[in-house]
Chain A
Amino acid sequence: MTAAPLPDGLVAIVKRDCPTCRFVAPVLADLADGALPLTVYSQDDPTFPDDVKVVDDTELEVSFALELETVPTLLLVAGGEIVARTEGWLRPEWEELTGRAPLGAGLPEYRPGCGSRTVDPDIAAARSDAAGAAGLGPRRVDLGEHEDDVEAAFERGWTDGLPVVPPTLERVARMLAGTSRDPADVVAVVPPDLVECTVEKVAINAVLAGCKPEYLPVVITAVEAACTDEFNVHGLLATTYFSSPVMVVNGPITKAIGMNAGINVLGQGNRANATIGRALQLVVRNVGGGRPGGVDRATLGNPGKYTFCFAEDEAGSPWEPLHVERGLAPDASAVTLFAGDGVRGMVDQLSRAPESLARSLAACLRAVPHPKMALGFDVVVVVSPEHGRVFREGGWSKARLRDELLALLQLDGDDVIRGAGGIAEGLPKGLAGATVPKFRDDGLLLVHAGGGAGLFSAIIGGWINGPGGSQPVTREVRP
């Protein structure tokens, strides 16, 4: 994109859209007949000015090379070098630069110029995108002449079954503006293929998912968190069980990027929630190579495998937010990943005392993932504002509620051993007579979110916990 050297003599850059350029058109026509050769570049209309031979600069190659801000700009060029320059119309400067006087008889002394098209924000942004895209590392995929770009993404296996936004060079360059990280930085090694995933690969998949650039730091953090030994996204992908990553986002970034923590928080309709969760899934699919029927062996799966991402309602919460509980500063932004199996509804419309509501919750939590199983699965409870209000008014801290729930969920071994209740499934018979905790002490996560009306909470059951399965992982989001 380098422009040819400037011709010697007078050089003017104009556009028809500029009143001052139209105003000086007769002056240019005068100069065209003078001793110094005159070259006029037009930014918007190669037939303007009418009485002068004009060079087409509608692609703005010359204008960008000159770092032009104003039209008209008049230059004096000698030996390819600019020796004098003036912008707008100021008669004495034009006369001095051209060596011709008087110039522009009948015109006023001064008229300011207009903005060059090169400083039009849309044009400047497009140029910056094109320049950024040129340096990107990932492989180019050339489409056929008659190939539809959205269909092409389906045919190449890049989608989760829904259409994706085609990852053009410009879109990916714009996406990368959302992070200060180097596009070539390796974010993580993504299973199951154990492929090094760069920032730009995350950005491509964020484009596919429909993210805005400002979401990218959250997606990058989620990829980092997923690809840790603790979270074990490989095992989570490969399991026949329902589960996949559930993402809770905390901190100031949730408001800054417009995430939903309120009405229909676990449902559809918010771009940030929907596309951030989807981008993580697409990274695992495309970069890691994890696909249903391949390494993903889920028997039934769950709709959260398209996307499952939401923000905690911190402002309305009776408790400290999840990321603070997990060791980060209140003003930090963070992603917490949990290996979740989907949403089961929990209703209690009558409890107004925390003791009663805690018993209700405990009764429902007993079924995760089976009433006769214990300790193998963690759980997230998304407490809605109306349920949260019961605990706030009762003066229950989050720690108090967790302790009460864990205490209420001490199972009698006789009830849950194999064969008990006429059900073969259950804990080993050796636990007859023992007391068995339903959840491990750190296996019960409480999050506050949802719309203001409705005495419901949501229970998101986990997958195998502990070192052999998946541990919840919290990571700070950095720009």
Chain B
Amino acid sequence: MSPRVLLDPTGERTPATREWSPRPASLDGRTVGLLDISKPRGDVFLDRLEEQLTERGLRVRRFTKPTFSKPAPVDLRHEIGTQCDVVIEALAD
């Protein structure tokens, strides 16, 4: 079995692990991003979520990854990060 704990060989100027961002207690007043990763029928799921979130008075923005087989481009991630408070990603299939 491979070891589970290693000693840090670096100057320790950056965090060893990144913490999760704090989760919001409620969605009130938030902008929700809906990210379609371009898997089939992900849009069906996200369309329904958009309806429900909009009924609750939330702002919704839609995003689509160019392809599910690669990480989201930096620009797209930046766009989501600056425009939304939370994001829901639809894997689907």
CB distance from B33 to the nearest CB of A (A): 26
- Range, interface on chain B: 10 to 19
Considering the complex, which residues of chain B in the window 5-48 have a beta carbon less than 8 Å from any beta carbon of chain A? 5-13, 16-17
Interchain CA distance A153-B10 in the complex, whole Å: 11
A190 lies within 8 A of B11 (CB): yes
CB distance from A153 to the nearest CB of B (A): 8
B69 at the interface (CB under 8 A from A): no
Is B3 at the interface (CB under 8 A from chain A)?
yes
Query: B7, A204: Cβ atoms under 8 Å?
Result: yes
Judged by a CB distance under 8 angstroms, whether B70 is at the interface is no
Interface of chain A: mostly helix, strand, loop or mixed: mixed
Closest Cβ of chain B to A120, distance in Å, is: 22
B78 in the interface (beta carbon within 8 A) = no
Shortest distance between the CB of A309 and any CB in chain B (Å): 19
Q: Which of A140, A148, A200 contacts B5 (CB 8 A)?
A: A140
User: Which residues in A have their C-beta under 8 angstroms from that of B11?
Assistant: 190, 193, 195, 197, 286-289
Q: Which residues of B contact A145 (CB under 8 A)?
A: 4
Asked if B2 and A139 sit within 8 Å, CB to CB, the answer is no
In Å, the complex CA distance between A328 and B16 comes to 43
Bound CA–CA A172/B2 (angstroms): 16
Q: Which residues of B contact A149 (CB under 8 A)?
A: 2-3, 6
Closest Cβ of chain B to A31, distance in Å, is: 41
Q: Please, which residue of chain A has its CB at the minimum distance from the CB of B13?
A: A193
Q: Is the Cβ of A286 less than 8 Å from the Cβ of B10? A: yes
Q: Whole-angstrom distance between the alpha carbons of A337 and B12 in the complex? A: 27
Chain A 117-156, CB-CB to B under 8 Å as 1, else 0, gives 0000000000000000000101111110100111011001
B residues adjacent to A (C-beta < 8 A):
2-13, 16-17
Interface residues of A (CB under 8 A from B): 136, 138-143, 145, 148-150, 152-153, 156, 158, 166-169, 172, 190, 193, 195, 197, 200-201, 204-205, 208, 282, 286-289
